A and B are shown apart, each in its own frame.
Chain A
C-alpha cells in the first residue's frame, strides 16, 4: 500500500513538472507566431518571472509535504488500513465464532431434540409400565374383592344353613317334647323311669 502511494506520488510529481514546463513551450510558440506580443492566449499563463518563484514555491511546498505531510498522510492511511484490517479480522473472527456458536447451537439443538425424543420415549415406557402396574393392581384388587365377597357369601350361607338346621332341630325337639309331654300318662312315665333305671350306670361313690 505504502509502495503504491509512493509510486503515485512520483507519477504526480513528474506530471506536475511536465505541466509546468508546458507554458514555456507555449510561450515560445506564440512568440514565434505573434511576434512576441503579450496579448491573447499569453494572458492565460504566467510570465517566466512569475513561474520561477511559483516553481520554487511548489518545490518548497513539495519538500514540506514530502517531509511532513505525506508521512502523516501515509501513517493515517496505514493506521486506517490497520484498523480496517483489524476490523475485517475481527469480523472474520466474529463470523467464525458465530459459525462456531451456530454449530454448537445446532449440536445443542440436536442434542436437545434427542433428549426430548428420549424423554418422550422414556415417558411412554414409564406410562406403559405404570398403566400395566395399575391394571395388574386393579385386577388383583378385583380378584381379592371377589374372593372376599365369595368368602362372605359362603360364611353367610353356612351361618344361614347352621341357623336353619338349629331351628329345625329346636323345632323337632320341641315337637317331640310336646308329644311326649301330652302323650305320656303317669303309668307311661313310671315305665319310662324303670326303663331308664335299668339302663343307667352307677353313681360315683365318694
Chain B
C-alpha cells in the first residue's frame, strides 16, 4: 500500500531524526548506529523478546521497561527513542528506522558507512586500506562499523545499503562444495 509505505517512511524518519538530534555529537551518532543495529539484530533473532515487546496485555510502560532492562548499557538517548517506539507499538518498523537513521547519519557526516565483518579484529593498516579502496569508489569519507564473526573462517564481508561483497572463506568453501557436487 503506497499510503502505508509513505506513512511508515514518515514515521521512521521522525524516529531517526529525533535520535540523530538527541545525540550530542557525530561520534555518539556513529556509535549509536552500531547499537541500533545490535538492537535490531537482537529483536529479530529472539522471538520471545519480540513477542514480549509487542504484547498488548502489557502496559506500554512495562514494555519500555523490559526494553531498557534488556539493553542496559546502551546510550540513554537511544533507549529513550526506542522506548517510545515500543510504547507506540512501532517495533515492526525498527528495520526501516535503522535504514533511515543510517541514511540521515551519512547525510549529516557526508560519509558512507560500511559494515565490515571479519574473523579477527582489523588493524589500522587494513582499516586504511578499506577506507581508501571504497572512498575512491563513492567519492565520500568512508566510516567502518566493525563486526567479528568466527563462522566466516577467514576473509572479509563488506556491506552497505543492501549491497554486499562476500569474500569470506566460508563462502569460498560453499562455492567449492557446490562446484564439487556439480562436477560429480
Please report A residues at the B interface, Cβ cutoff 8 Å: 161-162, 165-166, 168-170, 172-173, 176-177, 180-181, 184, 186, 188-190, 192-194, 196-197, 199-206
Q: How far is the CA of A170 from the CA of B176 in the complex (A)?
A: 10
Q: How far is the CA of A200 from the CA of B173 in the complex (A)?
A: 16
B6 contacts the other chain (CB 8 A): no
CB–CB A177/B170 < 8 A: yes
B138: A residues at CB distance < 8 A = 203, 205
- In the complex, what's the smallest C-beta–C-beta distance from B37 to chain A, in angstroms? 18
Chain B 141-173 near chain A by CB (<8 Å), digits 1 or 0: 000000000100111101111111101011001
CB–CB A189/B120 < 8 A: yes
Please report B residues at the A interface, Cβ cutoff 8 Å: 114, 118-120, 122-123, 125-126, 129-130, 133-134, 137-138, 150, 153-156, 158-165, 167, 169-170, 173-174, 176-177, 180-181, 184
- In the complex, what's the smallest C-beta–C-beta distance from B144 to chain A, in angstroms? 13
CB–CB B133/A189 < 8 A: no
Q: Would you give 17 A-B contacts (Cβ < 8 Å), ordered by A?
A: A165-B180, A165-B181, A166-B181, A169-B181, A170-B177, A173-B176, A173-B177, A177-B173, A181-B150, A190-B125, A192-B155, A193-B118, A197-B129, A199-B167, A200-B156, A202-B137, A203-B158
CB–CB A192/B169 < 8 A: yes
CB–CB A194/B169 < 8 A: no
CB–CB B153/A203 < 8 A: no
CB–CB B118/A177 < 8 A: no
Q: How far is the CA of A172 from the CA of B126 in the complex (A)?
A: 31
CB–CB A190/B123 < 8 A: yes
CB–CB B173/A173 < 8 A: yes
Q: How far is the CA of A206 from the CA of B102 in the complex (A)?
A: 13
CB–CB A196/B155 < 8 A: yes
CB–CB B154/A169 < 8 A: no
User: Which 7 residue pairs across A and B have the least CB separation, nearest first?
Assistant: A196-B167, A204-B163, A165-B184, A169-B177, A189-B120, A203-B163, A173-B177
CB–CB B153/A177 < 8 A: yes
Closest chain A residue to B158, Cβ basis: A203
CB–CB A184/B173 < 8 A: no
B162: A residues at CB distance < 8 A = 206
Closest chain A residue to B112, Cβ basis: A205
Task: Report which of B156, B160, B165, B180 forms a contact with A201, defined as CB distance below 8 A.
Answer: B165
CB–CB A181/B153 < 8 A: yes
A201: B residues at CB distance < 8 A = 165
Q: How far is the CA of A169 from the CA of B177 in the complex (A)?
A: 5
A192: B residues at CB distance < 8 A = 154-155, 169
CB–CB A206/B163 < 8 A: yes
- Given the known interface contacts A189-B118, A189-B119, the answer about A196 and B156 at a Cβ–Cβ threshold of 8 Å is yes
CB–CB B180/A169 < 8 A: yes
- In the complex, what's the smallest C-beta–C-beta distance from A192 to chain B, in angstroms? 5
Q: How far is the CA of A79 from the CA of B133 in the complex (A)?
A: 153
- In the complex, what's the smallest C-beta–C-beta distance from A194 to chain B, in angstroms? 7
CB–CB B169/A172 < 8 A: no
Task: Report which of B156, B173, B174, B177 forms a contact with A193, defined as CB distance below 8 A.
Answer: B156
